[in-house]
Structure 1
Amino acid sequence: MLLTKYAHACVRIEDGEKSVLIDPGCWTAPEAFAGVRAVLITHGHRDHVDHELLAAARKADPALEVFAPEDVAAELGDGVRALAVGERFEAGGFAVRAVGGRHAQVIDNYPDCPNLGYLVEGVYHPGDSLHVPDQEVHALLLPTTGPWLTMRGAIEMVRAVRPGQVVPIHDAYHSEAGRENFDGWLDGEADARYTRIAVGESVRLG
């Protein structure tokens, strides 16, 4: 299985003819969609879904499947499949399960919006959440920055999920020094293979 990192939280997962793109937000380049069969959206924040970019991709490829939480699906319009927590479905040839349910909070119950994490045949993209799924995770796509996230929270999530591999994402807000600091902590504390990849680069999972 091949994972390609795009801007911030956007990644592409491929395995032979299977392919999904997750969270193409406002910093994602259009080429991320090239040849992809399905798109998964975790929640409606701009850094995870760019409506104009997605609309252009759907116009270019009418067969492109799009899956999203119910509120986001309603905003995106016809042809987008609305999902609920616990649903199992096929996207881009992959078996996928939607987990979690709510966005991690910053303070005073804000933000309080739906957020679905996706388990794509053992690869877990949590969106903006620290939800720990109740099934085995081979590779965790770990958020690294955000107003709702602490270093302690990230380390505790890795320890709770216990993946074999960790790939950091959600990192647009990190300076170079911040990335080095985060990587140093996680490489020492994760008890898993820790692999940072640059935008546009790929890594084999498993």
Structure 2
Amino acid sequence: MNPGMRRPDPAVRHTVEGMRLTRFGHSCVRFDTGEGVIVIDPGVFSDPAALDGADAVFITHQHPDHCNDPELRRLLEDRPEVRLYGPSSLSEVLGSLPFTTVSAGDAIPAAGTEVKVIGRHHAQIHADIPVVPNVGYLVDGVFHPGDALTVPDEPVRLLLAPIAAPWLKLAEAVDYIRAVDAPMVHPIHDAILSDTGLTMVDRMLANLVGDSYERIADGHTATI
């Protein structure tokens, strides 16, 4: 385990009243806890403004739609105090850029709350493509799985559900949402869909998983 981390205590709850969640495109979300700002997966399909004022940045895996290397370099050059976290394989794309390695079971204090690390591997795209490490992040009951269908072993109050990817089909997204069984579901990972495709997939998912499914438009904020 890395310095500054600890194993999570299931008896301890880190609840932030009125935490704000903002979407910044594709798989990138920003949490404003009132004590700081956490950003997850600022990738090349996301608005770089997500990083403005960030205190901690968490990357699920090394793929560019989740990890925008040039923007992260600019961020740390301007504000070296910002903490960057992700699996050890990030070094393959970040090189000498400093970051803290995390793995399943870690719990990281950040922005007045705790970020729990859940999961180990990216979903398989094809047998001919190597599977890379992928971790998900649970922030005050809000789960971002990255590119995986990991079901946490504790309750999730809001699932950020991937809905469109080369490694995913609609039936798998539906089964995953049902397996996590969160009372709220907001879709992410959808930049590869056209406007028509997005409308169709949203309609089908809402019909199949029920009223828990609700889209946050890019640039919009929901209070959790």
Map 1:1-206 to 2 at 5 A: 1-73=19-91, 75-76=93-94, 77-108=96-127, 110-205=129-224
| Contact kept in structure 2, 1:73 and 1:82, CA below 8 Å | no
Distance, in Å, in 2 between the alignment partners of 1:67 and 1:112 is 20
Structure 1 runs (4+) deviating above 3 angstroms are: none
Distance, in Å, in 2 between the alignment partners of 1:127 and 1:176 is 22
TM-score normalized with structure 1 length: 0.94
| Contact kept in structure 1, 2:87 and 2:103, CA below 8 Å | yes
AA matched with 1:202: T
Change (3 A) 1:51 1:15: same
- Aligned residue pairs total 205
1:93 Cα deviation (Å)?
A: 2.9
Distance, in Å, in 2 between the alignment partners of 1:91 and 1:129 is 23
Distance, in Å, in 2 between the alignment partners of 1:190 and 1:36 is 33
1:36 Cα deviation (Å)?
A: 1.4
1:62 Cα deviation (Å)?
A: 1.4
Which deviations, in whole Å up to 9, do the C-alpha atoms of 1:50-96 show, x marking residues without a partner? Answer: 11100101111111110010110464335310011111111333201
- CA RMSD after TM alignment: 1.5
Give the gaps of 5 or more residues in structure 2: 1-18
Distance, in Å, in 1 between the alignment partners of 2:73 and 2:131 is 26
Distance, in Å, in 1 between the alignment partners of 2:35 and 2:130 is 37
| Contact kept in structure 2, 1:139 and 1:166, CA below 8 Å | yes
Distance, in Å, in 2 between the alignment partners of 1:66 and 1:202 is 23
